[in-house]
Structure 1
Amino acid sequence: MSRQQRQDLDDMLRNAPKTAGDTVEQARTDFATLFDVPAPGGVTVRDTTLGGRPALELTPDGADGDTVVLFLHGGGYVVGSPRTHAALAGDLARRARTRIISLDYRLAPEHRFPAAVDDGLAAYRELLERGTSPAAIALAGDSAGGGLAVATLLAAREAGLPMPAGAVLFSPWADLTLTGASMEGKLGADPIFVRADIEGYRTHYLGGGDPAAPLASPALADLTGLPPLLVQAGSNELLLDDSVRLAAGAGAAGVDVTLRVWGGLPHVFQHHTALVEEAGQALDDAALFLAHAYRTAAAEPATA
């Protein structure tokens, strides 16, 4: 790991435009501009629909046609889209040699909780209804999308649907009660957020809803019966304890879970493969996890 690379990334993020005081519309525009990076070469991108919502399908050259990842983008449930995450999802698709469908789920405050969960569940249900084996499906997401991926799994479990092969979670926002010790302990170390930023996203998403509801804060939920999880985080993020407690809860519930915390790196550092070599290493680890999850699930009988 290069200390200079980590420092350069930290400096870049600290100097990036902040949108906390913006209107929702301006924040969305700023976020879209900041992450206006196309999918990497060798990945075909096309518009599609899934679960009644628009989506992007990203297919790498040489993809395994039998596997698919349902990707849920980050952005605090308020900003972001499949387009802002085309580079991240496309890079994962390329490394894992698997097709990815990135869902344009409904955003708050126009569509508050549990609208995003409903959209995630509808998308997963449609993949199954198309005849895709659950053993050939995985979920992935970053930040709010990581929390949403786990909430989608919980909703699918409650609906009696079979579990997919696994899920990859990049810095998941999985505790909307904001009670993790890292919310205070990593203040200043995090180059992106202060607590008020995250509180603002929570208010937009929940309105007056209960932040401890299982589908809002899956880190606090009973995770029994979920498929294998890979959780990745950086040590320099306010949401670090969301990853740690989510992984601990999954392990306590008998779920196969792998947690890796990358020292000195920020929230969803996997976006920055051009700046830090660990971002590419993390995505390679995710690709290996997906390959193993698909093989293992295919060798086992499907379970609800």
Structure 2
Amino acid sequence: MIKGDRGFADVSVPSRVAILALNATLRPLGSVLPQNRLGVAAARLGLAVSCHIWFDNKLPHRSVDEPGPRGRTVGEWVGEPPRPGTPIIYYLHGSGYVGCSPATHRGLVSELVRRLGRPAFSLDYRLAPEHRFPAAHDDVLNGYLWLLEQGHAAEDIVLMGDSAGGHMTLGLAIQLRALSLPQPAAIVAFSPLVDATWSLAAERLTDVWDSFMSLGLASKMTGLYTGTAHFDDPRLDVLNGVGADLPPMLLQAGGAEMLSADAERFGAAQRAAGGRCEVQLWPGMFHVFQVGHRLLPESRAALTAVEQFVAAVESRSTARDPRTA
């Protein structure tokens, strides 16, 4: 598949430039960050800058800070705030549970809103190390319940996220099952974390060079949230929560990133359990490369595949709905 080949020769010239820039900046800087508040602040700044440099064309947004069923719901609507019955995106940003925000991901979310023709609610969940597990997961569940409380049906929601946000999309689906609550129509995750111990990623590093981050930094960042005693919690141990009762899923990852192993392993397990999970690995590409849609051909192609996946899910749902007969 990708063993022994980072895939660099297979990517476009703009993507090669981006990969070289990551190798020269974000990755080496991350490897020397101290494990303290200064290191966290520096990591947050680096992640925010890396999200903002793509010259995104952002849509208008409206901030939300309202009471929810299980606490405050904080985030923003990107695009026109919807009425009940309107298809929507529920987006969970990534960055290792310690950084970024709806503002840093507004460009990517805006592009998803344009392509899928539906507004998005982007959640501003609590971050580590100030807030440890399960704070972010509690916020994610509360945000979903808040959307239902606003009159948005579960079948009108496409749940999306990247990296740690992708991890939480899977964890939310498993938690909804445990609570006997309705599942979203579909899940789309970009470079999702699956194994919070990073064992799968460590194995993949024998085959790839991850230009975005080192294993040591990534595991330290998420460890500020997960600690060391919660890996068997179903919200974190998502690989053991697969099942045919979960929504159809699309997982995308870069072929040259260590979390490609996570996407592959989850997809295989979910299909073996009778579920539907499509996994797309993009040769030579890096972690959450979709954020570069304004500049990188591979990013645009990946988002086109998201459009096609969501359209196919909607088509099947319409075919099954007796009201359309």
SS at match of 1:98: coil
Root-mean-square deviation over aligned CA pairs = 2.6
The verdict on how the C-alpha distance between 1:203 and 1:81 changes in structure 2, with shifts beyond 3 A counting, is: same
Aligned runs of 1:16-35 on 2, under 5 Å?
16-17=25-26, 18-20=29-31, 21=33, 22-35=38-51
- Counterparts of 2:91 and 2:65, CA distance in 1: 13
Within 5 Å, give how 1:184-203 maps onto structure 2.
184-185=204-205, 189-203=209-223
1:8 equivalent in alignment to 2:17: yes
Residue 142 of structure 2 corresponds to residue 142 of structure 1:
no
Shift of residue 299 of structure 1? 4.9
Give the structure 2 partner of residue 151 of structure 1: 171
Task: Specify whether residues 220 and 179 from structure 1 end up closer, same or farther in structure 2 by C-alpha distance, changes over 3 A only.
Answer: farther
The Cα shift of 1:223 comes to 3.4
In the alignment, which residue of structure 2 is the partner of 1:221? 241
State how far apart, in whole Å, the 2-side matches of 1:250 and 1:40 are. Answer: 35
Distance 2:114 2:25 in 1: 28
C-alpha distance 181-74 of structure 1, shift in aligned 2 (>3 A):
closer
**Partner of 1:40 in structure 2?**
57
1:90-169 map, 5 Å: 90-169=110-189
- Going from structure 1 to structure 2, the CA distance change for 1:292 and 1:3 (only over 3 Å counts) comes to closer
CA deviation map 1:222-279 (0-9, x unaligned)? 3341100001011111111110011112112211111111111111110112332010
Q: Which has the higher helix share?
A: 2
Matched residues, number: 301
- Distance in 2, matches of 1:111 and 1:201, equals 13
Instruction: State the distance in 2 between where 1:60 and 1:237 align.
Output: 35
Shift of 1:132: 1.3
Distance 1:60 1:230, change over 3 A: farther
In the alignment, is the contact (CA less than 8 A) between 2:169 and 2:187 conserved in 1? Answer: yes
Tell me, what secondary structure is at the counterpart of 1:285? helix
Bigger radius of gyration: 2
Task: Return the alpha-carbon distance in structure 2 between the equivalents of residues 39 and 10 of structure 1.
Answer: 19
Structure 2 residue aligned with 1:269: 289
What does residue 204 of structure 1 align with? 224
> Would you say the 8 A contact 1:186–1:236 is kept in 2?
no
TM-score, normalization by structure 1: 0.90
Tell me, which stretches of 5 or more residues in structure 2 are unaligned? Answer: 1-9
Paired residue secondary structure (2:200): coil
Percent sequence identity over aligned pairs: 32
What runs of 5+ residues in structure 1 fail to find an aligned partner?
none
